[in-house]
Chains A and B, each alone.
Chain A
């Protein structure tokens, strides 16, 4: 045996552990008549047994325990990932969705036996409508980007019904990448408009490109720079003046709860990321929920079925008159909806407004502590997040934003979003969220200031970071070019 080491966390896959003879269960002896498998399956029986993992029970437990301990989540440490909003998921919401009536509900059970779930969905739709300022809501989309797609499909159906199909959708250059992807998926063409010096939409450029071929504008407000667009009413008015629709990417709704409403800003539709605004889990890619709110004019096109509150006080399912159809099986990811409803009811209206106040205060606090050590290209009071630039560190010390991000890992902090939005060079996008206490914010600020000092004193330290993590710096270029995604027994 070579040097003693603690078992490396990332060493081996479960398939590489144990021996072919390792077993963790002994099935009981056969006590039913044996049938001929080959005959029963019409010959579709594999000749070789599958290469399943073969380990002892305790080794399975250890394997997953090690993986779990190598994971980093918001319950592990600070996770200020701008735009993504890695806020704490309240445990009370987890409890709520595990109540047997919700957890055990089945999509095929008769409506009259699922009144509780349906009432909750109707209540959630009402709450979202009130928060966002729209009359109609679908809870079906399974994620924010899915909500975007749903809304643009409704836009398409609306323009088609008016005999006025249009070709273009306008998107600012600070937008999330999902916006142009949605546009392309819907068969429209993207027109990009630049941002002005204050980080909002360049009004002259917008007016210059608006014509009757524009189907919609997609805008995030507050935008990805964490700035509220001061011209929002003029923007939606100009869009409507050419017969186009205004779509709000609601990714940043968590900054304006109880303060301002996209419906009142003149938007025609909005998606809401329940995980960003209402504290549901990100879920590692799913399940999520991206409800869509729309105006009365667009309500007939919403996907179905919708939950309806009937005159006799019961709840049932209904289809909008000119519905674009289903966008998700059954009623969407209902477990996520239960969590969001629990979050909303636990906080109430005043509590939701306090969420946004705290998120905005925390972001501005960090912004003020970090200005100076890092550049602040759009120097305005921010909303729930802000974007720094590492340009000067790069110029003066040859230290890139990527190096700063990697160094944060050594301090046990998940790096913020980097290199987004694209209009900020060496961007560092920080979103502390409302759930972090002052002690955590102060420690993060001190670590960021310390890293800026390290960049000057010992740039190579940052180039080599992280030094303390289970794996060191990964070859990101090779990961893209030669992705090795599947384990094969003979590889």
Chain B
């Protein structure tokens, strides 16, 4: 063994260039894996910590007043198979519904700690008539925040003893009575109708779901257990078997499919993280394998000499293994150190871009706007090394090294020792004599050198191309992420504009009068001003035009998806069924020409030309989208006619919005459909709502709104400010104008936009950076491969030189070879990328629900990359060829 390591080490020392290339390959692979792993892991940790804040730091809650288990637990709180870290008790003494939902709760210190509810002022109630609550509840009750204030609830008067911090923001999502507020009372206050809830947090070094099973078994608990769903996915709160169920469901229902599976399994981004790290591990392995292969082939004759003098196959494998392992042993830890160091620095600056935004993507058709996320994201916290990824990577690379060594040895075994010594090639089947027809054989030589062994040629092409394909894929996704962010940004709640002025009311008559709009438009310092007219309307969907009946809860007849009672009461639901046909409520918008032109970015079918729309009285239909990014739920297309019904005047009674009133309350127009769009630009969500994907909008010009329905006033205005002219002053003037109009409010989004832009810029820069690193690694690999290709034929080139090929002739020949490799690899890149892009496009459209991703990468990037490949291949070949020319011919012939 010592001897084996000695020989391996001698090889490493002698072939310094190859060793350096391999070492760099291993180091960069380890750096990429550990660095990226650390960033993603830290981001997930931050997201998990944030979830603990938002949902409370607990795993399970168990009804303590059902059965005798809690007494048993109190007597013997420890057992095998579980370790309890924290416990808390919440006893709901009473719940009242007036003036709003309030729960009277006694909570012990453990519960308060788990829910992050600290006493900010005063103290926890120590007497029966004392009460403590948070500021929001105090505000809702209209009570002063002074300690000692008397508060009467359900006929009983309490003294405010303390103010506690707010309840975890998202905890209500997990509670049965989500809107109830908690007030805290003393332990002695008892109305005899208690609900006792025991909260548990196990030590997280073992899977909590396993510990829960042991806990339940020990104390005989069979029911009443609730889970903290906010933490599911970050830590093992449920059996992994759920993944199987998800896959089964996804495959069983056509409408579910891969988007459903991915969306469910990737709820906390773990699947994406695993996919990225797996891709990096394989990329690293590929680079290492490719570099090592070159190294081995170069020395094949030397290995054969070793075999000639008695080295066994096993000994040869051991040498290969020792070489690679020695490099990995030094390169891998150094790479991890380097990767983590860079990531640590990066995380300290840009940590927030790595925090997983839970539920941002696929969640039953609803896409949460990312723009909120930038401001709402928690602090990135500290950087954590992803030890798991590093260990896994090392084990994978080690196993891979063993595999590669055995594989190369097996390949060598298939050759005889003499073949290895002579580096012989197999007989060629082509018997054609070329010199009879060709005046020069150098082109033929280049061709023959390249296609000497087709599998090797394609292997080289693949290895030259794969890095570029990964780079292009990353670039493509990054570009589309940027487009998606921009489009979502513009389409959602007017965040594309600095300021939005709108009437916060569900009464049609509450509008911004035209004269006020004209006045506001004259305010100095405005760059863009887009007033929008609005009406609620209804369209008939006859003769099977409604394709996705289950999409609308009103007609889905699905107990798990009940209709919204509020919408039912106010508007008779979003959709009503009339025998076999339907009538759908729609938002009717009037846009100005500039907004309509911008709507072209969201175009699905047809054309949006404001002039034409006015002339033909045609409209744009913003249709619905399902959870897989499909838009074919309603069978309406350009050139179809629509019968649009709306109230005859904004002064109609509220009842008219149910579209069931007298005929004179309504007016109708037949309108031609000019185009289909995927999103609206400005939204009014105070009527039936406008999530952007779940409602249908009919969009026309503001002039058409006036001519068709007599609407002159506006409902919302999107305004962009000219910051150069002092945005603050303009905003103040607009605020003053808005406050003079009834129910009119102004929202200033400038801070959000600034934060969001910074966030997106950092995110894009990071991904472009990763793409650039991948490109750099692949370029190093291309250079190494091309150098090898030239070096491997030094003997043949020596013969050619001895035969009398001039230096310029030789360089010309080599340039042609490099050029051909460049062109072929460029073609391979294009073909491979075409397939990869199709997959990425599917994921972006159907899984990540990207808005209008481009079908192809920017037109310049692929040709540029192909050109870089061509130039690099040619340059490296020429560089290596020039190196050969510097050597003595006789030395080369003797090789």
Q: Are the chains A and B members of one assembly?
A: no
Interface residues of A (CB under 8 A from B): none
